[in-house]
Every structure is written in structure tokens, then in C-alpha cells.
A and B are shown apart, each in its own frame.
Chain A
């Protein structure tokens, strides 16, 4: 099949230009000022639209296996494709945990069956994410796992974390940490600050994140083994990463759209929709996350897409699970909230996370002849509002209802084939 994309404003690692792009099979076959549409099976008129390499989400919870009432790999993949993502890293906190070759193979196969984006299973660092024994890193790496994390929990034991880093050395994998010293967050449901004091809710202090981040930065310094840090949420965390990077340490970091767009004041209605881990923080923290993204301290925007069935969120805050949807709104929230150039936003959504996920050979590529055709086309100026009932995700826990979003994905091309056309998933 031959696909022609005309008049697009291409933004990729090589910069920005206005060209026509032809895709044959799964490969970009031709890029030129003007290409003849005569022999194309399908033409996408992309005049006024941005054509970019597909986005890569380092952090999604697809809930399968184990919580299929909240999301399946198919519904989550559809949400990803609608959000412009061509690859997503599936977090390991499934049931059973992604701590064996059997489970990660299952997740990958379910992703292939859905065929909407590439689902990259992560592996857990410890068996059952229990924080006690390491998973078989090499076996899992041989099965294609690139990212290892106990996300949902941080690895509390500093000895185990040191051993994990040392053992990972040379395996071609990246350990990713959810930074949270759990002794400091027992029972916590929101950011510890004046808002939680007023609401009478147990607070999640910023230092619980910063202490583990600092510990792990020092372990990276000690071992020389790189790490990725998930969902930074505090101003001090951004500063710690900035200083560590200036020291030349091999670390990367991500931030979620909700941590740069929503504050802890959202919890004032006691609506568990806004309960998330790490919690929504203060305007100062939001500003620090934004500037960390702008100056490259934070490498990637990752959604931490966390579907939950409605009945679980219709509970008092201390009983409801943490997490919010993110895949279908990531671009719109980013362009609405960040004061960054389009190229930098796309870098943080596409080629920078692609490199961290170890899929830089096939995602986040320049749009040039011979490159894999994993692409997204979006209108950077369209202002829209999310309608929960129209989400492709099986769950409805989006926190963005009523917030004007800017930038809407119209077409997503995966392995050379459109999987989203005009904002509608084709499968």
C-alpha cells in the first residue's frame, strides 16, 4: 500500500520543513517538495498540520493481565493511537506481575494482536514488585525488555537498589525508579502542604520523593550505571536532576502532563479523580517542572496513564486508588500548558523518550526515505475539550473535563498504515 501525505509541516530531529511524504509498506519511501499523488492508494491532505514521528510514552498502565475491567491492552493501545503514540511502555504492576518471560511475552503479543501501536512491556526490578529479590534481568532482556521498574512502588532497600544497578550493568537495560520513601507517605492521599492541612487529609511530603531521588543519584554516581526517574513532581527534584546532569551522571527523567498542569487545590472537592501518585503539587512545583522540561533537565513527557473503573474512584480519598488517564490528552495538555517551542515539545514526546525506551531504531526517527513509518499528524492550534464518554480508554477518570486543550491528533500511522484517521481509530 502506498500512502501520500501532502503539504505537511514536518517536525523531526532534523528540524522543520514543509514537504510531501510518501509511505510504501512500513517505510517512508520518498520526501520531496511535491510528490505526485497519481499512484497513491491513499492521500492525506496535511496542509496546516504538523507531521511528526509518532510519540513514545514511557509510562502507561494498561491493566492487562489482571484488571481488564479498567483497561485492556487493546483499549489502551487505541487510546495511545488516538493520542498520537506509536509506542508505549507498559508498566509491570499487572496481576500477575511482569516479572517473568511468560507474562512479558503475553503483554507484547496482546499488543501485536491489537495492532494499534507497539506495546513494550517493562519488567519489574523485584519479583512481584515486593522489593525483596531481583527478577531475572538477563532472561527478560533476552525477551526484549528494556525498562525495568517496580513502578507503583519505589525500591525501598538501598542495598537491593545498589545490587540491581550493578547487576544491570552491561545488559543493555535501564532501571527506572518511582521515587517514594514509603515510611514518609503511609496513608497519604495528597501533597503535604497548607491545602492538606485545611482539608484534614494525610499529606505526601515532597521530601519522600526527593530523598529517594537523591539516594539513587548517589548510587548512579557510585556505580556508574545509568537510571531513569519516573514522574518527577517537585521543584527540588528538578533541581537535583539538573545538578546531577551537570555533574555528567547518566540519568534521564520524565514528567507527566498532570504534574505541570494541575495543583493540589483540585482535591478541595474530595473528588478522587484528582488522587494520583505522586500527588498533584503546588504552583511553584508546576513552574519548576515546566522550566525543567524547557531547559531539558526533564527529558520526556510521559503520561502515567492509569485507568480505574468508575466505582473505584467514587470512594473517599483514602480508599480510592491513585491515578488518572493521560494518553488521549497528553498533546493537548502539553501545548496548552507549556511555554515551549513545538519542536521541543515533540522532542519530549517522541525521540527523547524513544531513546530512553531503547526503541530509537524504529520510533522517533527522522522523516526521511528508508525510515520506519511510525508517524503522527496533528493540528497544533485546534482547541478542544475532552468528553469522557468519547474516550477510547475503558475507564473515564480524566481530570481535564472543562479545561481547554490545544493541539489535537488527527491521524496516526503505525507500521506504514493509518490506525487513526480524522481523529477516529480505524480498528
Chain B
């Protein structure tokens, strides 16, 4: 399985591959994309003629819709290949599936897979760009980017996020969101504390994983710029990882009492979908710092930035980028179905 000779920057598999400067470049690009999205006709011809294929081996409505919306706003053609892993097991191998779709002429695969590392394998099998849209417990780089973007824009910052303090709470062990978001935030200068019982931490979760680890949410609550809540799944109680969801909420949930102790400036984030009453036992609309909806909105701009960064013709010249996305598609309205 020798990896194909391909410029690694043509794919996004791990957020770590971008480095701090690379992340900031994407976030700056996402600012331009957010501006596009605010237009009456939020569409630019930047990726016209490019084909983006979503290949989802695991259910995910929000991530798939977010990527497809992003691709369409850049005028790329989109295809979707949704398959449950069980039906794949009945016949065609993953490699044959990918090579078959690639033969139709695809510029980028957006891959969601239940197995850690599947996008890395796919990347070795195709010349197309591969964007990891979540693999197993491993990584979800565009989630990390949209999280960083959400913090940056909510605080009105430019550049990195030096000096901020964030706590990420919950099932870190099984969370690709945690792995990528913690890494991205730390690369941007955020001090990250992981809050979880030992059972929900990766083995050897030491300094290399986070700046601090604790099982006492109340100890860190008062001093946070960002409180990031992870989804807590019912299945975890069956595996003796936590005794019950009620006990989880008592120790790690955002209860009204804890919410009252937060600074009003503390941003509250969640990758969704939320388990209300479990990790978040308050109505987020009652929380002044909640930016959970903004995360979803920002996801489109950030994924536009990623797609453009990987597929755009002038992806090494920022000047060309902005020129390419500045023009709108008003001249194309007849082909797009006409304005009414």
C-alpha cells in the first residue's frame, strides 16, 4: 500500500497537518467566504467545473449538508455516495468503490467513515483530494476549523487565539471532535483543559494531548473563555464507562447551577447533535455565550475555505483567491434557473 505520489497539501486528513499558520490561512479565507454567504446571491464561480463527491460510510446529515452547501456556493458539481458499511461488506471493497467513483472524474472526495484511518487509505488510492469529514475516533479536521473560526469571530479576533482558556468536557476517548479541536486550539495558542472521568480519557492522555486534565469541572468553570461540551452517548453506560447518564450530568453536565457560575463572556460550544438534559441541562438560548448555532452557520464558510484552498486554481496566491471569490455569478442566472 505505497502512498501515491501526491502533494500532501492537496488533501486534508488531519488538522495537525496544517500547522498553526495553515489554520490561520484557512480562517482568514473563511472570513472572505462568510462575506460571500452574506450576499443576496451567496454564490461564486470559484470552483466551477470541479466535482466534489461526498462518500459517507456513516450517517451524518449535518456534515454532509454543510459540505454540499459549501461546494454548491463555490459552483462545484456535487455527487453523493451514501452507503452503510454492511452493504459494502456484501460485495465491493472500499478500494474498488473509491476507484470506481474516481474513474467518473472526481476532484475531491469528502469522506466520512466509521473506521479511524479510512480517509488515509483512500488518499493513498486516488489522485483526487481527500477531505476527512470524520473517521472513527480519530479526526474531524473541518469541525476543528469551524470551532476555531467560531471562537475567533465571536471574540472579534484576528490571527490566532493566544492566551485563551478552554475546557473540553466529556467523552474525549471516543471523540474525533475532541482529538481535532484540542489539537487545533492548542496550535492557535489556547490553553486546553480536558475534563472527564478516567474512563472517558484516551489511555496515556498526558501533556501531549492537552495542557491539563481534570475530573472536576467545577474547579475550572469560573476561569474559562470557552466551555466545549461533547456529546455523551447512552451506549457508554452499557460499557461501564459511566454508571448512568444522571451521574454523568451531576459531575460533567452544564446544569443551571454551573451555568450561573460562568462568566457571561464564556463561549459555550457543542459539535451537535446535543443530548439535552445530559451534557447540557439548560436551554442554550438562555445562555448569553452560547454559539452553538453559529458553529453550524460557520461550518459552511469554513468548508468553502477548505474546498477552495485545496481545489481553487490560485490556491497559493492569496490575491488570486480573493479575486476569484469576489465576483458573483449574477451573469449566470439564466443558466442557474433564472431570477424571478
Contacts and interface: CB of A to CB of B under 8 A. Distances in A.
B116 A317 contact: yes
A270 B117 contact: yes
A318 B113 CA distance: 12
Contacts of A15: none
A273 interface: yes
A200 B138 contact: yes
A269 to B, nearest CB: 7
A399 to B, nearest CB: 12
B273 interface: no
Interface in B101-123: 113, 115-118, 120-121
Nearest to B13: A270
Given A194-B204, A314-B95, A315-B93, A201 B120 contact: no
Interface in A172-217: 192-194, 196-203, 205
Interface string B1-22: 1010000000000000000000
B304 to A, nearest CB: 26
A313 B95 CA distance: 11
Given A314-B93, A314-B95, A201 B203 contact: no
A271 B1 CA distance: 7
A319 interface: yes
Contact of B116 (A193, A199, A311): A199
Interface stretch (B47-55, B205-213, B291-299): B205-213
B135 interface: yes
A203 B206 CA distance: 16
B1 A318 contact: no
Contact of B203 (A205, A269, A316): A205
Nearest to A315: B94
Contacts of B116: 199-201, 270, 316-318
A273 B121 CA distance: 12
A314 B94 CA distance: 8
A192 B173 CA distance: 12
Interface string B312-337: 00000000000000000000000000
Given A194-B208, A270-B121, A311-B93, A318 B203 contact: no
A199 B209 contact: no
Given A316-B115, A316-B116, A201 B209 contact: no
Interface string A290-312: 00000000000000000000010
A269 B120 contact: yes
Contacts of B135: 200
B42 interface: no
Contacts of A270: 116-118, 120-121
Given A314-B1, A314-B95, A317-B116, A200 B204 contact: no
Interface in A18-60: none
A270 B135 CA distance: 12
B139 interface: yes
Contacts of A196: 202-203
Interface in A311-363: 311, 313-319
Contacts of B117: 199, 201, 270, 316-317
A269 B14 CA distance: 12
Contacts of A315: 93-94, 121
A273 to B, nearest CB: 7
B176 interface: yes
Contact of A197 (B118, B120, B176, B204): B204
A197 B202 contact: yes
B248 interface: no
B179 interface: yes
A192 B135 CA distance: 19
Contacts of B94: 314-316
A70 to B, nearest CB: 16
Given A200-B135, A201-B137, A319-B115, A314 B204 contact: no
Nearest to B202: A197
Nearest to A316: B115
A198 B205 CA distance: 9
A192 B203 contact: yes
A408 to B, nearest CB: 25
Contacts of A199: 116-117, 138
Contacts of B95: 311, 314
Interface of A: 192-194, 196-203, 205, 269-271, 273, 311, 313-319
Interface of B: 1, 3, 93-95, 113, 115-118, 120-121, 135-139, 176, 179, 202-206, 208-209
Given A200-B136, A203-B203, 17 more contacts: A193-B204, A197-B203, A197-B205, A197-B209, A201-B117, A201-B138, A205-B203, A270-B117, A270-B121, A273-B1, A311-B93, A311-B95, A314-B121, A315-B121, A316-B121, A317-B117, A318-B136
28 contacts: A192-B203, A193-B203, A194-B203, A194-B204, A194-B208, A196-B202, A197-B203, A197-B205, A198-B208, A200-B138, A201-B117, A203-B203, A205-B203, A269-B120, A270-B117, A270-B120, A271-B1, A311-B93, A311-B95, A313-B1, A315-B93, A315-B94, A315-B121, A316-B116, A316-B121, A317-B115, A318-B136, A319-B115
7 closest A-B pairs by beta carbon, nearest first, are A270-B117, A200-B138, A316-B115, A197-B202, A200-B137, A194-B204, A200-B116
